Every structure is written in structure tokens, then in C-alpha cells.
Amino acid sequence: MYNNTIYYILGALAIIYILISMNNRRQSKDRKSRKFMDTYERKESIKKENNQEE
């Protein structure tokens, strides 16, 4: 039992690493496609409005 403990620990760490890696790749892909900002509308800045009025 104790001889294989290190392999169980390393296997669990490998699985956790793979899951985190897959999640990060998905988030990066979403960020590149800008899907998460489809409903975002940029507000006009106050400085631009003040410069246009003058």
C-alpha cells in the first residue's frame, strides 16, 4: 500500500493539472472570440463629451 501511495498522489495531481489546463484553454478561446462581450456597450467618456462641446 505505502509503496504505491506516491503514484496515487502523482496521478491525482496530473488529473487536476489536466482539468485546469483544459479550463484555461477554453477561457482563452472565449476571450479571443469575444463571445463574452457580445452584450457589452461602451459608455462615452466624460472627456470626449467635454471636448466635443467646446
Q: Which pLDDT score is estimated for 14?
A: 97
**Cell 489546463 sits on residue:** 21
Least confident of 2-11, 24-33, 36-45: 36-45
Q: Record the pTM.
A: 0.50
Residue predicted with more confidence, 40 or 24 = 24
Give the per-residue pLDDT at 6: 92
pLDDT tens-digit profile of 21-39?
Answer: 998 888 777 666 665 566 6
Q: What is the DSSP letter of 44?
A: P
List the one residue out of 23, 18, 16, 19 whose CA is nearest residue 8: 16
CA distances from 12 to 3, 7, 27 (A): 16, 8, 23
CB 36 within 8 A of CB 30: yes
- Whole-number mean pLDDT of the chain? 77
**Residue indicated by cell numbers 472565449:** 30
